Amino acid sequence: MFNILKNLTGKGKKSSDCLTLQWCLPLSGEQASLAEAFINTLKCHYPEALPVKYGKYEPLTNKTGPKDFELFFRSWSDCSKSPCGDLLFFRSTYPCVSGTVCIGDPRPNKVKLYNYIALNFDLGAMRQDTSRIDALVELFKQVAVATNAFYAAAFVVRNVHIDKQTIWHNVDTEGYELLPGRGWPGLPVAPTWLAWFGGAYRAELSELENNPLVSVEPGGLFLKVASMPLNKDQLKKVFPKLPQRLLLKHVPKARSMALDPENPEAFAEWWSAEEFFPADYIPEL
Residue bearing the bigger pLDDT, 265 or 16: 16
Residue 47: the pLDDT is 95
* DSSP-based three-state secondary structure for 61: coil
Distance from the first to the final alpha carbon of the chain: 26
Lowest average pLDDT, out of 3-12, 73-82, 207-216, goes to: 3-12
Lowest average pLDDT, out of 12-16, 112-116, 134-138, goes to: 12-16
Residue 57: the pLDDT is 86
Using 50, 70 and 90 to split pLDDT, how confident is the model at 90? very high
What is the average pLDDT across 32-49? 94
Lowest average pLDDT, out of 18-27, 140-149, 168-177, 227-236, goes to: 168-177
Residue bearing the bigger pLDDT, 87 or 27: 87
What is the average pLDDT across 125-131? 86
Query: Contact, 3 vs 166, CB < 8 A?
Result: yes
Tens digits of per-residue pLDDT, 141-154?
999 999 999 999 99
Residue bearing the bigger pLDDT, 261 or 188: 188
What is the average pLDDT across 153-162? 93
> What does pTM read for this prediction?
0.87
**Phi, psi (5° rounding) for residue 240?**
-65, 150
Residue 274: the pLDDT is 59
pLDDT at 102 over 70: yes
Residue 2: the pLDDT is 42
What is the average pLDDT across 199-206? 96
CB atoms within 10 A of CB 210: 7
pLDDT at 139 over 90: yes
Residue 5: the pLDDT is 37
Residue 238: the pLDDT is 95
Query: Contact, 238 vs 226, CB < 8 A?
Result: yes
Q: Which helix (H) or strand (E) holds 153?
A: strand 151-163
pLDDT at 11 over 60: no
Residue bearing the bigger pLDDT, 30 or 168: 168
Using 50, 70 and 90 to split pLDDT, how confident is the model at 268? low
Query: Contact, 205 vs 197, CB < 8 A?
Result: yes
